[in-house]
């Protein structure tokens, strides 16, 4: 797979002035970093296209992840060429072939052992704050972990984009997602859970809450769904119980 990166440096924030208005009516001129909203179109040669608003970082990963979680491809080998335009607003994709799998009915997931300590470590990392969120309070975060190691972190305007970037990173680095844990700062409705299932990720963790439909879908496909994952507690809605060390 050939990937052409944009040859331009994108800055995700810009300092903006604003008027701070207090409850007592006092007004004060201040300034702070404000997030840029970047638009990108993912164009598949001879096929569909996707358009999204995002942060202009990890654009190849965003495209790869979106193709996989939408069922367009099944693996990196399905992509022959991926070119990001200089301005970063277009990603053109040429496929070797389209996925031969049934994207509407992906296979059931194979469970992996997991521990509460692994989830708490990710929750602690999130509570420490991600760089752009600390500056702007306008992003979602996503972590990809495997065997207790944090492999990738990213932020984006949309929680769906953040997941796609993490998935795309794994594809680009030839990391098997079947042994990974994905942690998202966003809510866990059905479409977010679908992304994890289509990517083959066995453990999906959210800082926020699921929907009934998301929990039912997770149960159907054998996805371990952990929500309300904070530094002091979590809620297991579907899937396998945490691994318990052997007693001596």
- pLDDT for the residue 101: 63
Of residues 131 and 40, the one with the higher pLDDT is 40
Residue 94: pLDDT over 90: yes
Residue among 154, 206, 159 nearest 182 (CA) = 206
Asked if residue 107 is part of any domain, the answer here is: no
Residue 89 CB partners (closer than 8 Å, separation 6+): 38, 39, 40, 41
With b for 16 or more beta-carbon neighbours within 10 A and e for fewer, the 116-151 pattern comes to eebbbbbbebbeeebebbebbeebbbbbbbbeeeeb
Query: What's the mean pLDDT when you consider all of the chain?
Result: 93
Asked if residue 153 is part of any domain, the answer here is: yes
Q: What is the CATH number of the domain that holds 162?
A: 3.40.140.10
Residue 6: pLDDT over 80: yes
**Confidence band, pLDDT 50/70/90 cuts, at residue 137:** confident
- pLDDT for the residue 176: 97
Asked if residue 134 is part of any domain, the answer here is: yes
Over residues 155-172, the mean pLDDT reads 96
3-state SS of the chain is CEEECCCCCCCCEEEEEEEEECCCCCEEEEEEEEECCEEEEEEECCCCEEEEEECCCCHHHHHHHHHHHCCCCCCHHHEEEEEECCCCCEEEEEECCCCCCCCCCCCCCCCCCCCHHHHHHHHHHHHCCCHHHHHHCCCEEEEEEECCEEEEEEEECCHHHHHHHHHHHHHHCCCCHHHEEEEECCCECHHHHHHHHHHCCCEEEECCCECHHHHHHHHHHCCEEEECCCCCCCEEEECCCCCCCCCC
> Total domain count for the chain?
1
Radius of gyration for the alpha carbons in the chain, expressed in angstroms and rounded: 19
Dihedral pair phi/psi, residue 26, rounded to 5°:
-70, 135
CA gap 111, 103 in Å, rounded: 20
Asked if residue 206 is part of any domain, the answer here is: yes
- pLDDT for the residue 11: 86
Residue 104: pLDDT over 80: no
- Per the DSSP assignment, residues forming a β-bridge with 13 are 35
Asked if residue 167 is part of any domain, the answer here is: yes
Asked if residue 121 is part of any domain, the answer here is: yes
Asked if residue 226 is part of any domain, the answer here is: yes
**Confidence band, pLDDT 50/70/90 cuts, at residue 209:** very high
Residue 58 CB partners (closer than 8 Å, separation 6+): 154, 165, 168, 169
Instruction: Please give the residue range of the domain that contains residue 136.
Output: 116-238
Query: For the whole model, what pTM was predicted?
Result: 0.92
């Amino acid at each position: 797979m050939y990937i052409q990166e944009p040859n331009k440096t994108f800055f995700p924030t810009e300092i903006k002035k604003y008027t701070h208005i207090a409850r007592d009516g006092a007004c004060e001129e201040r300034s702070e970093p404000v997030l840029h909203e970047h638009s990108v179109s993912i164009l598949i040669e001879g096929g569909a296209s996707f358009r999204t608003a995002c942060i202009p970082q990890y654009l190849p990963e965003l495209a790869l992840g979106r193709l996989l979680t939408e069922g367009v491809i099944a693996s990196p080998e399905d992509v022959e060429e991926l070119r990001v335009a200089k301005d970063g607003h277009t990603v053109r994709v040429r496929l070797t072939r389209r996925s031969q799998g049934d994207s509407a009915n992906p296979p059931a997931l194979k469970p992996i052992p997991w521990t509460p300590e692994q989830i708490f470590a990710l929750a602690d990392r999130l509570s420490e704050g991600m760089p752009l969120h600390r500056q702007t309070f306008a992003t979602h975060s996503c972590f990809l972990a495997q065997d207790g190691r944090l492999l990738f972190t990213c932020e984006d305007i949309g929680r769906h984009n953040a997941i796609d970037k993490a998935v795309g990173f794994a594809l680009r680095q030839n990391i098997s997602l079947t042994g990974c844990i994905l942690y998202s700062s966003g809510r866990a409705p059905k479409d977010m859970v679908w992304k994890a299932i289509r990517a083959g990720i066995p453990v999906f963790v959210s800082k926020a809450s699921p929907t009934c439909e998301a929990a039912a879908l997770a149960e159907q496909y054998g996805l371990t769904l952990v929500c309300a994952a904070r530094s002091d507690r979590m809620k297991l809605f579907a899937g396998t119980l945490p691994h318990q060390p052997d007693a001596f």
